[in-house]
Structure 1
Amino acid sequence: MTIQLPGADGVLKAYSPRTEPLALTTGAPFTSRTVFSAAHVVADPFADVSPDSPAAVDWDATLAFRRHLWSHGLGVAEAMDTAQRGMGLDWAGAAELIRRSAAEAKAVGGLIACGVGTDQLSATEIGYPYSLDEIRTAYEEQLALVEQAGSQAILMASRALAAVAKSPEDYLEVYGHLLRQSAEPVILHWLGPMFDPALEGYWGSTDLDAATHTFLEVIAAHPDKVDGIKVSLLDAQREIDIRRRLPRGVRCYTGDDFNYPELIAGDDQGFSHALLGIFDPLGPLAAEAVRVLDTGNTDGFRELLDPTVELSRHLFQTPTRFYKTGVVFLAWLSGHQEHFAMVGGLQSARSLPHFARAYELADGLGLFPDPALAETRMKTLLSLYGVTQ
């Protein structure tokens, strides 16, 4: 059996899907790495909303997907950009997501960390007309909610702070204030402009060396309040350089969806843990690879995870911020949700050839628990675009 898929050149070609999934099972907790998957949200497809409406979330399906990740030993990084934070999911929706997911994590014994930002402060026609005090207050509100929910906090990059800060000292002041009052060590998240153009010049400079200096200065001033950092710059060497300069006890969680196998595997001077959006669709396979790494078998780890990089680079191709569309598409094909709808209507953000290639790559890896279901759903999507089989 074959399926006709459109290529990047618009020409249909025959593809023969595999008939059996990769054999993967749940297993023991990880021992060598701490691994989070940033998880997507499932939209309510029956809600009568527009792209500008508050997100309508299918809570049952959203929490079921988190239980799926936990069952394989992965932690859940909640209310991050993978959950369309700032791209369809507003603070009110994120707050509800945090409360529900943190309660679910407590019930099942799952590892969770939740995003803390300033998205109560929306942009206006004149930009972000806020003071540093207002930005600190917004951060404080979200930090309090996350801590009250019983979750570890991830201090995310703030669009408002990027717009309002006048110098690196403004970042040092805001982050220093937050770290001094945090109840437990947090994860600091440096999200690059390829993921969110509004974060250009974060840490006070478009020069990455200067920005890195400020970032490390924040950590050095409060090492007891920083569990780790997540670096999402898609620059493996810069991550390695930062990793080697961290204070003892501060972890590096790779957020590099282009180079994660080599960064997690590490070198003779250290390694990265992981907090990755690509581990949403790769969850069971990623977990299997980390358990192999736990045995000291780095080659076996790379043999499992290296072949997934082509899919990840495809999903995260420019414009990178729309990678969420491919993640949710694969969740639908995998049977984790009954529809391909997204909050904010973001299912329209990628082309049919993009979806076709994502299907082909994921199928080749054996990611679909039911390959026949994935094929049927892919054919359904193709038919909506006028492709007959």
Structure 2
Amino acid sequence: MSSRTVFAAAHVVADPFADSTPDGPAALDWDATLAFRRHLWAQGLGVAEAMDTAQRGMGLDWNGAAELIRRSAAEAKAVGGLLACGAGTDDLTGAEHPLTAVRAAYERQLQTVEESGAQAILMASRALAAAARGPEDYEEVYGHLLRQAARPVILHWLGPMFDPALEGYWGSADLDAATETFLRVIAAHPGKVDGVKVSLLDAGREVALRRRLPEGVRCYTGDDFHYPELIEGDEEGFSHALLGVFDPLAPLAADAVRRLDTEDRTAFRAALDPTVPLARHLFRAPTRYYKTGVVLLAWLAGHQDHFTMVGGLQSARSLPHLARAYELADAVGLFPDPGLAASRMRSLLALQGVPQ
């Protein structure tokens, strides 16, 4: 793809035979997890690794994330795949930490990502949100990290609909004020920010921010509700993409974005617009549980052999929600083998006592 840089934030595949508990370390099926990344790269997409789609902070701790980053980086080198990985502060435990500890945690994780050879995504931090007393604390911490980053990073602004602990990020619950702080951080460190990932589910706000970014700084949409219009763009620009919904939509999304390489905007929208009802269903409130639908669709599509998730998160969505996800995915032709998908969905329904 030449017209847009597109990352799919990838899920992880749990080991269903591990004797684990919801509050214990994640046990992953590494073969299946890495095979799914090869699937994404084969579509021409980049992989955004160890992000919230991988249940970061919802079952996958930093030790598991670090191993995931190292293994995915090795796979990316082997196949020539584009890879960016999340660096945060989730190795901190306990309720609150001073800013010095938050900064040190970021530094440790940034080092892990950079030593793997991947590009870093500076993730929004629950610990920083708890410790910061105002915008100046965000500017100090991010400024310190950007000055020492070995290569340009992606800044991630994740809204509270994805993680309630991030309410008031960038020092204010007023999004206009938060935006000004965000832009000051970027402007103060030219050449150190490759782009920004915006996950606020507000298309108008993203467009307004996109138009104010310094030249050369990309906007990667993280809006799983409005992605077709934001990626298509307008006369003043467009968004690249870093999306959790492109995990299940990978083949359809990749084909659609290739239409933009030939400037066929009509074909792009015709290919991608029909997927929006599915995306909106997967990401409906409480939005943070969208991962359950993503893993369901991976199982139905044949990318893994079971519907088991780290931390038992397969139980986070209702049976009617999952059934509707199947219907919407089938309607857009998402499943390589519709018969397999139907058979697996019937088995899930039967397990829950639904008459066949």
Q: Give the alignment's TM-score, normalised by structure 1.
A: 0.91
Does 1:369 find its partner at 2:340?
A: no
Distance 1:163 1:174 in 2: 13
SS in 1 for 2:191: helix
SS in 1 for 2:235: coil
* Aligned equivalent of 1:195: 162
RCO higher in 1 or 2 (8 Å CA, sep ≥ 6)? 1
Distance 1:92 1:185 in 2: 24
After TM superposition, give the deviation of residue 223 of structure 1 in Å. Answer: 2.4
Distance 1:137 1:71 in 2: 36
Aligned length: 356
Distance 1:210 1:292 in 2: 37
Is contact 1:69–1:283 with CA below 8 Å preserved after alignment? yes
Distance 1:314 1:228 in 2: 28
* Aligned equivalent of 1:50: 21
In structure 1, what residue type is equivalent to 2:254? A
* Aligned equivalent of 1:66: 37
Distance 2:50 2:195 in 1: 18
Q: 2:322 aligns with which of 336, 346, 355?
A: 355
Does 1:76 find its partner at 2:47?
A: yes
* Structure 1 residues 1-389: aligned runs within 5 Å: 30-122=1-93, 124=94, 127-128=95-96, 130-389=97-356
Percent of aligned pairs with the same amino acid: 78
Distance 1:31 1:337 in 2: 30
Please give the per-residue CA displacement for 1:308-342, whole angstroms capped at 9, x wherever unaligned. 00000000000000000000000000000000000
Question: For the aligned residues, what is the CA RMSD?
Answer: 0.4
In structure 2, what residue type is equivalent to 1:110? G
Give the unaligned 5+ runs of structure 1: 1-29
Distance 2:225 2:183 in 1: 23
Distance 2:314 2:145 in 1: 36
In structure 1, what residue type is equivalent to 2:82? L
Give the unaligned 5+ runs of structure 2: none
SS in 2 for 1:32: coil
Distance 1:53 1:248 in 2: 45
Distance 1:157 1:53 in 2: 23
SS in 2 for 1:115: strand
After TM superposition, give the deviation of residue 385 of structure 1 in Å. Answer: 1.1
Is contact 1:79–1:115 with CA below 8 Å preserved after alignment? yes
After TM superposition, give the deviation of residue 150 of structure 1 in Å. Answer: 0.2
Is contact 1:223–1:250 with CA below 8 Å preserved after alignment? no
SS in 2 for 1:157: coil
Structure showing greater radius of gyration is 1
Distance 1:294 1:62 in 2: 30
* Aligned equivalent of 1:14: none
After TM superposition, give the deviation of residue 293 of structure 1 in Å. Answer: 0.9
